Amino acid sequence: MASTASFIAQFNHRNIKILQSMGYEVHVAANFTHYGTLSAKSNEQFMAWLASKKVVVHNIPVERGLGKFHQNVAVLFFLNRLMKENQFKIVHVHTPIASVLGRLAALKNHVSVVYTAHGFHFSKTSAWINWLIFPIEWLFSFCTSELLLINQEDFLLAKRWLHAKNTQYVPGVGINFRLLDQYNLSDHLSAKQELLATYHLPEKSRILISVGELSKRKNHRIVIEALAMLDLPDIHFVIAGRGSQKKNLTDLAKHLGIENQIHFLNYTKNIRHLHLAADLAVLPSLREGLSRAGLEAIRDGVYLLGADIRGIKDYILNEEIGRVFDPLDAKALSILIKNNIQRPRQNLTNTTVQRLMMFDRAAVDKQMREIYQSIGE
């Protein structure tokens, strides 16, 4: 069968497996030299996994941002040559600049394009300048076979204004919600004791967890400001992530006199263990596509305080799961933290679990298989 190339924005092993199970030869074109907020070890592990699955890898200097003009031109020429040589049947693009370059090359070579938009940069809550990107998305939608949106706000916007051949809502990359059945209260207590010992914290400490890179977009500073308003030294904020804002966040905590309550965990893959240890999770982002961190917190039994933005409020379906807040309002967040930090862990009702199963990886994988099949046919 004809081969297919894919840009991987969020390394989704399962899409590769789906395509291979359908008989496709899979190529992955991505930047494996500058891999963003991943750790070097995770990048190496992914490349090793690709090699073990006999995936053809193309290391290209495409960037997550706008990139440099000469660099983008070089990538475009490379992709054009790649598509000529391999006669691909499907190209699946993800990140904004990769989606533009990939669709240009695919248009020239008459290749069907699947584009997963991991959250448009323009939204109801974004700055007006972000809407300057809208005409680009509008133009390139005309050469998109399948446009996949991962949150409801983007989906409704795309259905109304964009012109892809087919537009579908696909709720993210999917997570394993079956793990909900494998959680119990003793898991929380043992994981919390281990975390308290790691940071040498008093036994009565309360743990607030946030998972996400240390960037302005992830907005961790609002949580630090909220904690400073509370004057409750037994609450400790653990941030799992790496990024350029670490020094600024550290300086802010010192300035507010709560540096002993803020703990940076750097990059970690053991997110489930962190969630099991937590008394409360917070996701204060200013912009998201569909935040996987929040879904994983819910799956692991943590009550979630999430920013009232698209990509987070999509799955805080009711107050049984969590609460939403204005990500610019530290006072409102401080009240929510105070009112919920001692909330006992409770299992979700069957009705709520069933509603969350749309985000389960099995449901997402089934939908992706059907999308690939429709293009193949």
The angle, 0 to 180 degrees and rounded to 10, between the axes of the packed helices 13-21 and 361-376 is: 50
- Domains in the chain and their CATH numbers? 4-174+360-376 (3.40.50.2000), 177-356 (3.40.50.2000)
Q: How confident is the model at residue 36 (pLDDT cuts 50, 70, 90)?
A: low
- In this predicted model, what pLDDT tens digit does every residue of 262-319 receive, in sequence order? 999 877 778 999 999 999 999 999 999 999 999 999 999 999 999 999 999 999 999 9
- pLDDT for 5 equals 46
% of residues, the chain, pLDDT over 90? 73
| Lowest mean pLDDT segment, chosen from 35-39, 52-56, 68-72, 368-372 | 35-39
- Tens digit of each residue's pLDDT (9 = 90 or more) over 326-352: 999 999 999 999 999 999 988 899 999
Query: How high is the mean pLDDT of the chain?
Result: 90
Residue 173: CB partners within 8 Å, gap ≥ 6? 10, 12, 14, 292, 361, 364
> Can you tell me the distance from the alpha carbon of 89 to that of 117, in angstroms, rounded to the nearest whole number?
20
Average of per-residue pLDDT across 16-26: 92
Contact call for residues 298 and 183 (beta carbons, < 8 A): no
Number of C-beta neighbours around residue 4 at 10 A: 25
- What is the pLDDT at residue 4? 52
Helix (H), strand (E) at residue 214: none
Residue 1 pLDDT grade (very low, low, confident, very high; cuts 50, 70, 90): very low
Q: Distance between CA atoms of 99 and 144, rounded to whole angstroms? A: 10
**Per-residue pLDDT at 6 exceeds 70:** no
On the question of pLDDT at 35 being above 70, the answer is: no
Report how far residue 314's alpha carbon sits from residue 370's, in angstroms, rounded to the nearest whole number. 23
What average pLDDT does range 23-38 have in this prediction? 81
d(Cα 262, Cα 255) in Å, to the nearest integer?
Answer: 12
What pTM, to 2 d.p., does this model score?
0.90
- 8 Å CB contact between 146 and 377: no
What would the mean pLDDT of 125-132 be, rounded to a whole number?
84
Given a cut of 80, whether residue 38 has pLDDT beyond it is no
What gap in Å lies between CA 152 and CA 279, rounded to an integer?
A: 29
* Cα separation, 100 vs 92, whole angstroms: 12
